[in-house]
Chain A
Amino acid sequence: MEFGPHLMLAMLEGLVQASVLTLTALGLSLVFGVMRVVNVAHGEFYMLGAVLAWWVTTMLGGNPAIGFVVALVVAPLLVGLMAAAADWLVLRRVEYDPERTIVATIGLLYIIQQVTLMTYGPDAHPVTPPFNTRLALPWYEFTDAGFQIYWPWGLSITSYKLFVIAAAIVTCLGLWLLMARSKIGLILRATQLDSETAQAFGIPVERVFALVFGMGAALAALGAVLVVPIQQAHYLMGGDPLLLSFIVVIIGGLGSLRGTVVAAILIGMSDGIISVFFTPTLAKMLATLLVAMVLVYRPQGLFGAKPA
């Protein structure tokens, strides 16, 4: 394939990755922003979303589209409830102390991972995409006959991958509307800005924290449900999204949702493109280097507020 179509293909693949990464990283960013908790178990909630999606579609059988739609609702909901319970039973008991929550979420990571290994097993399982039409994409060239459009062999995307991108955009818009326009968003932002004063105005901060921890995990699970028809569900699949989410959240600015989206697109796209033209290892190395540069030259992240 020529360079132009090849680059376009790489960018589209990168955009699919960026979409899933955006959702996962938004969950991590939301939890850190409101609760100041670094959730090391975030990748495991992602993995749980994928495994539950497999479980739901397998249980239901029949038309893959029905199973997938049910999984899209049920898996994030169940994962969110589990995370909220973990918050109530564990994080609340350690009083959201920054160091102790890190240790506690490391514990959660191993518990979730090993329980999944014991029940779901060590094998990877696929989920059938609800629809998966291959869509050929056009490219252009200039020949003696002038400008021409043609259809290069291999330049295509599936309808499902386009759906992943669209679903991520819709979720981001929904989250933005929730945060900026709704009563719940007002309560979340007030808690983020000053949780003590929020309590003095009747906001039940502990319940807000459980909700936020659940929402963060549900966002990761949603990303995983979207990815599992492309990439199989496996009990160790939470590692990469965790690393990439941390990279994104640090570059975007801890707690800044806008910065998280911008950084997720940047990292997801560059990861996709560099993986296609060079190697995935180089992509991770460059992303980690970028984190180091951000930490040295702009520690608050691209969109983070300067510490007062």
Chain B
Amino acid sequence: MLELHDINAAYGKVQVLHGLSLNVAAGEILCLLGRNGAGKSTTMKAIMGLVPISAGSMQLEGHEITGLPAHRVPKLGIGYIPQGRRLFAEMTVAENLQIGLMTRGKGGEVRERVLSMFPRLRERLHQRAETLSGGEQQMLATARALCLEPKVLLLDEPTEGLQPSMISLIRDVVLTLKEQGVAIILVEQRVDAVLEVADRIVFVENGRDAMTVTPDELRADKGLLQRFVGV
């Protein structure tokens, strides 16, 4: 579905990605693991066109998307749930969803489907996003991305700072999307959560894809965590 080949990317003069490659298929969950600053979030921003790419190429369903203006990328069906949620804080829940729906011209049907996945949001439609609890904000960030009916979904630390019931809700949503054939890239710090859902795991180190393993291989060799995540 989505392929990255030898991507270089930099914030100004600071190069963060040095030849990173990965690919994710429809209905697959690919997890990125690595230390802080390894380049996981930057990889997502590079896919979204928010960080300029200086070398390498990206394809979505075989079509070249390298160097596309940032606002064109989501229109192709890539949904993004950024780290820290990044809601439009002063806007209402309904308005945040409206922005998501407008991205690919989706209508009331999609809105209903998304709201039925998160009934709590339906009760709070006219509340400002900044007044929601942390869990509700994460629901809204997820719902906003789902309003695109994405083919590819990027989740950047979706469970950060959430209580266990909310974490399991987010996990269920991710698994439902996987069943629907969405290609999912997940950045996650909690290794147990990764082992539960991942189909493949890419260790990111110094802006490169250092190693790709299956959850079983990771369970068998805990030394990998020591080496790439260093806990």
Pair B91/A193 contact, Cβ less than 8 Å: yes
Contact of B98 among A186, A196, A198, A200 (CB under 8 A): A186
Pair A201/B91 contact, Cβ less than 8 Å: no
- A203 at the B interface (CB under 8 A): yes
Contact of B88 among A193, A202, A204 (CB under 8 A): A193
Report the minimum CB–CB distance from A29 to chain B (whole Å).
16
Q: How far is the CA of A194 from the CA of B71 in the complex (A)?
A: 13
Cβ contacts A179-213/B at 8 Å (1 or 0 each): 00001001101100110111111111100000000
Pair B102/A183 contact, Cβ less than 8 Å: yes
Pair B86/A202 contact, Cβ less than 8 Å: no
Pair B50/A193 contact, Cβ less than 8 Å: no
Smallest Cβ-Cβ distance to A308: which chain B residue? B89
Give the contacts of B96-122 with A (CB-CB under 8 A).
Answer: 98-100, 102-104
B interface residues, how many (CB within 8 angstroms): 26
Report the minimum CB–CB distance from A103 to chain B (whole Å).
20
Q: How far is the CA of A235 from the CA of B193 in the complex (A)?
A: 67
Contact of B75 among A186, A187, A202, A205 (CB under 8 A): A202
Q: How far is the CA of A186 from the CA of B99 in the complex (A)?
A: 8
Smallest Cβ-Cβ distance to B98: which chain A residue? A186
Q: Please give, as numbers and ranges, the residues of chain B lying within 8 Å of A204 by CB-CB distance.
A: 69, 71
- B95 at the A interface (CB under 8 A): yes
Q: How far is the CA of A190 from the CA of B144 in the complex (A)?
A: 13
Smallest Cβ-Cβ distance to B78: which chain A residue? A200
Smallest Cβ-Cβ distance to A199: which chain B residue? B70
Report the minimum CB–CB distance from B204 to chain A (whole Å).
21
Report the minimum CB–CB distance from A98 to chain B (whole Å).
16
Pair B50/A199 contact, Cβ less than 8 Å: yes
Report the minimum CB–CB distance from B126 to chain A (whole Å).
13
Known: A189-B88, A196-B50. Contact between A202 and B82, CB under 8 A?
no
Report the minimum CB–CB distance from A304 to chain B (whole Å).
13
Report the minimum CB–CB distance from A255 to chain B (whole Å).
11
Q: How far is the CA of A204 from the CA of B98 in the complex (A)?
A: 16
Contact of A201 among B69, B89, B144 (CB under 8 A): B144
- B90 at the A interface (CB under 8 A): yes
Pair A202/B71 contact, Cβ less than 8 Å: yes
A interface residues, how many (CB within 8 angstroms): 17
Smallest Cβ-Cβ distance to B69: which chain A residue? A204
Q: Please give, as numbers and ranges, the residues of chain A lying within 8 Å of B72 by CB-CB distance.
A: 202
Q: How far is the CA of A186 from the CA of B103 in the complex (A)?
A: 12
Cβ contacts B54-83/A at 8 Å (1 or 0 each): 000000000000000111111100001010
Smallest Cβ-Cβ distance to A204: which chain B residue? B71
- B29 at the A interface (CB under 8 A): no
Pair B99/A200 contact, Cβ less than 8 Å: no
- B48 at the A interface (CB under 8 A): yes
Pair A194/B88 contact, Cβ less than 8 Å: yes
Pair B70/A200 contact, Cβ less than 8 Å: yes
Give the contacts of B18-64 with A (CB-CB under 8 A).
Answer: 48-50
Pair B90/A201 contact, Cβ less than 8 Å: no
Known: A203-B71, A204-B71. Contact between A190 and B88, CB under 8 A?
yes
Report the minimum CB–CB distance from B104 to chain A (whole Å).
7
Q: How far is the CA of A194 from the CA of B50 in the complex (A)?
A: 13
Q: How far is the CA of A194 from the CA of B130 in the complex (A)?
A: 13
Pair B91/A202 contact, Cβ less than 8 Å: no
Pair B103/A193 contact, Cβ less than 8 Å: no
Pair B50/A202 contact, Cβ less than 8 Å: no
Q: How far is the CA of A201 from the CA of B195 in the complex (A)?
A: 30
Report the minimum CB–CB distance from A59 to chain B (whole Å).
40
Contact of A202 among B89, B98, B102 (CB under 8 A): B102
Q: Please give, as numbers and ranges, the residues of chain B lying within 8 Å of A190 by CB-CB distance.
A: 88, 91, 99
Q: Please give, as numbers and ranges, the residues of chain B lying within 8 Å of A183 by CB-CB distance.
A: 102
Known: A193-B88, A197-B88, A199-B50. Contact between A186 and B95, CB under 8 A?
yes
Could you list 5 examples of A-B contacts with CB < 8 Å?
A189-B90, A190-B88, A200-B70, A200-B82, A201-B99
Query: Apart from A193-B89, A199-B50, what 7 extra A-B contacts exist at CB < 8 Å?
Result: A186-B102, A187-B102, A190-B91, A190-B99, A193-B91, A201-B102, A202-B75
Q: B residues touching A (Cβ–Cβ < 8 Å)?
A: 48-50, 69-75, 80, 82, 86, 88-91, 95, 98-100, 102-104, 144, 148
